[in-house]
Amino acid sequence: MVGLLAPASALRQVCSGCARRVRLPGPALARTPGRMLAASYSQVSTVPLAYELHEPAKPVADKQTSPIIFMHGLFGSKKNNRTMSKVLARDLGRHVYTLDLRNHGDSPHDPKHDYTVMAADVAEFIRKHGLKEPTLIGHSMGAKTAMVLALNQPDLVANLVAVDNAPVDARLSSEFPRYIQGMRKIDEAKTTRQAEADEILKPYAPSPTIRQFLLGNLHRPSPGDRTQRFRLPLSTLARALDHLGDFPYKDPAEARFVKPALFVRGTQSKYVPDDVIPLIGQFFPLFELVDVDAGHWVISEKPEAFREAVLRFLEPKE
């Protein structure tokens, strides 16, 4: 992959406050649909995605069918981005759909879980709801889903915001298998109280914030059931972990998204190292990069910095 990287001198950087913005304009490229390497969309079986719709109090007239589609990361759900979605709907006057990706939240479970099928699910959601020129916003797993969809079907997408992930193969943190181990222990224990589940999870997830995030997936399967279980199909996601760091596209010559793209990364995170920035520019030649003083959970750690970056990117330019 090193051979795909442009020299660091090709980057133009401008520092302002705690955020660094990088813009790497590429040559004028013909917009040609990408070729999905893992499978063609015609061969993919999609699932209908659960969602919440956040409507602005004062919608912009020409944005009725040009919404924002917000996608969470691994072990997340549409609930995670609820507050930010309401804020963006208010500030931009646009409808915001927060999705549950397959095998998460209220969306159906399916044994196949990779970026090809997740992107196909979102593409079908866009078509089914008659959405025109949506903005895709995705964090982590949702960011790669957004990138794959934009590269494969650019005509469906107006622009995208990728939060703390990059179009590269990268090994997932060893924390994720431990989280699944802990969640399995909770299911085996048949807990009835949140505090009990939290205590079981502590050795696997020391951070109270991470534990709260994971335990948000607990529910009681039926009204009369006192036992809490995870909504997530843990076995399916455990099998998928080895591939969730992968990116289906290996060669920027096969697919480019030549519309605006914003990449927001946490400076304390390792998901978007400096040496992949030129590769981002080859897949997304009109990209901008904003650095936020945060870890991987950029949106929850620094919501105002994230909001400001998105507003600058999406507000109409003079």
Q: What is the pLDDT of residues 259-276, one digit of tens each?
A: 999 999 999 999 999 999
Q: Please indicate, yes or no, whether residues 151 and 287 belong to a single structural domain of this protein.
A: yes
d(CA 71, CA 291): 20
Q: Please indicate, yes or no, whether residues 191 and 297 belong to a single structural domain of this protein.
A: no
Tens of pLDDT, residue by residue over 12-32, are 333 333 344 444 333 333 333
Q: Which of 172, 123, 174, 113 is nearest to 146 (CA)?
A: 123
Q: Please indicate, yes or no, whether residues 39 and 150 belong to a single structural domain of this protein.
A: yes
- pTM for this entry: 0.86
Q: Which of 66, 53, 62, 68 is nearest to 132 (CA)?
A: 66
Number of domains in the chain: 2
CATH number at residue 86: 3.40.50.1820
Q: Please indicate, yes or no, whether residues 165 and 301 belong to a single structural domain of this protein.
A: yes
Domain range for 210 is: 175-241
Q: In one letter, which amino acid is 229?
A: R
Tens of pLDDT, residue by residue over 95-118, are 999 999 999 999 999 999 999 999
Residue of 72, 113, 139, 296 with catalytic role: 296
Q: Please indicate, yes or no, whether residues 111 and 63 belong to a single structural domain of this protein.
A: yes
Q: Please indicate, yes or no, whether residues 18 and 132 belong to a single structural domain of this protein.
A: yes
Strand residue runs (E) in 44-149:
51-54, 68-71, 96-99, 135-139
Q: Is 75 exposed, middle or buried (0-12, 13-18, 19+ CB in 10 A)?
A: buried
Q: Please indicate, yes or no, whether residues 158 and 14 belong to a single structural domain of this protein.
A: yes
Q: Please indicate, yes or no, whether residues 277 and 158 belong to a single structural domain of this protein.
A: yes
Q: Please indicate, yes or no, whether residues 159 and 181 belong to a single structural domain of this protein.
A: no
What pLDDT score does 9 carry?
A: 30
Examine the residue annotation and report whether 140 is marked as an active-site residue of this protein.
Answer: yes
Residue of 77, 85, 107, 140 with catalytic role: 140
Q: Please indicate, yes or no, whether residues 62 and 120 belong to a single structural domain of this protein.
A: yes
* CA 299 to each of CA 7, 119, 179, 316: distance values in angstroms, whole numbers, following the listed order: 30, 22, 21, 22
Confidence category of residue 39, pLDDT binned at 50, 70, 90: very low
Percent residues over pLDDT 90 in the chain: 78
* CA 189 to each of CA 6, 54, 133, 154, 227: distance values in angstroms, whole numbers, following the listed order: 52, 37, 47, 46, 9
Which of 241, 271, 295 lies at the terminal end of a domain, its last residue?
241
Query: Cβ(10)–Cβ(220) under 8 Å?
Result: no
Q: Please indicate, yes or no, whether residues 51 and 103 belong to a single structural domain of this protein.
A: yes
Q: Please indicate, yes or no, whether residues 165 and 22 belong to a single structural domain of this protein.
A: yes
Query: Cβ(142)–Cβ(100) under 8 Å?
Result: no
d(CA 274, CA 161): 18
